Each structure stands twice: as C-alpha cells, then as structure tokens.
Amino acid sequence: MVIDSTFWVAVSFVIFFGGLVYLKVPQKINEILNKLILDIKNEIDESEKLRTESKKLLENAQKKLDTAQTISNEVLEQAKKDSDNLTIELNDKFYKSSEIKKNLAQNKIVQMKETAIKEIKDASVKIAMDSVKKIITTSVDKSKLNTLFEKNLDETKEELKKINS
C-alpha cells in the first residue's frame, strides 16, 4: 500500500475532528448557539410584551384624548351659551337703564314745564297787582277805581285761563 499525501490528509482530518470531539468543541458550539437562540427568543418575548404594553398605553392615551376632546367641546359649548346669556342680560340691562333715563328726562321736562307755568302765573299776578296798585294810587275816583279794578281782574282771569289751557 502506498502511503501518499492524501492518506496523511485523511489521517490529519480524522485526528483534527477527533481532537475537536475530545475537547467537546461541538457541544460548546451547540451550547453557545442554544444560548444565543434562547437570548434571541427572550428578546422576542420581551419585545412582544413591550409591544402589547405599548398597544394598551396607546389605546388608553387615545381614550383619554377622546375624553378630553369631548370635555373640551362641552366646555366650549357651555362658554358659548354663557356668553350668549350674558350678552342678552347686558342688553336687557342697557335697555332698561336707557328707558329709566328716558323716563327721568321726561319727568324733568314735565317738572320744568310746570315750574315755568307757575313762574308765569306768579309774574302775571304780580304784574296785575302792580297795575292795580298803580291805578289805585293815581286814581282818586272810587267809581272809576271799581270799574278799572273789575276790568283788570277780568283780564287777569282770562290770561290765567289761557295760560292754564
């Protein structure tokens, strides 16, 4: 039999693999691969848990956002109603106030008119009295005095009637 280089390559190949088996290299590689597989599986499980948890958090956040939006809309509607009511109330107060001021002004005008009429009456009575005194002092005759007095009295009465009506 001829021992050539192929034989020695085959022998060294068997010895190499025998050394590997003796040193338990395939088991160590298998353990390392199993450990890596287990680590990857744990990471996948953990990422699945995180994904589920984040999905729950997202749903909760979405519910809170919807609730906040609903509450916000309700608050805006209530504020709009309140502002409308306040506007109506302020308008009512304004019109009532202006109506009161109008009535007060009309009352003042009526009072001023009455005061003016009274002053005119007082002035006319004073003028009549002054004319009567003047006539009495200038006239000596009682008959003329009585006629003149009656005439002036009638004129004064007519003037007062004109003023009153």
Q: Please spell the DSSP secondary structure of 11-69, one letter per residue.
A: HHHHHHHHHHHHTTHHHHHHHHHHHHHHHHHHHHHHHHHHHHHHHHHHHHHHHHHHHHH
Question: In which domain, by residue range, is 66 found?
Answer: 5-164
pLDDT tens per residue, range 91-142: 999 999 999 999 999 999 999 999 988 888 888 888 888 787 776 676 556 6
Q: How many domains are there within the chain?
A: 1
CB of 156 closer than 8 Å to CB of 124: yes
pLDDT tens per residue, range 83-93: 999 999 999 99
pLDDT tens per residue, range 57-80: 999 999 999 999 999 999 999 999
Q: 76-107: buried (b, 16+ CB within 10 Å) or exposed (e) per residue?
A: eeeeeeeeeeeeeeeeeeeeeeeeeeeeeeee
Q: What is the model's pLDDT at position 40? A: 95
Helix (H, G, I), strand (E, B) or coil at 141: coil
How far is Cα 80 from Cα 92, in angstroms, rounded to an integer?
18
How far is Cα 8 from Cα 11, in angstroms, rounded to an integer?
5
Q: What is the model's pLDDT at position 120? A: 86
Is residue 154 predicted with pLDDT exceeding 80?
A: yes
For helices 25-138 and 5-22, what crossing angle results, to 10°? 60
Name the one residue in this structure whose structure tokens are 């309140």: 82
141-162 average pLDDT score: 77
Band (39; pLDDT cuts 50, 70, 90) = very high
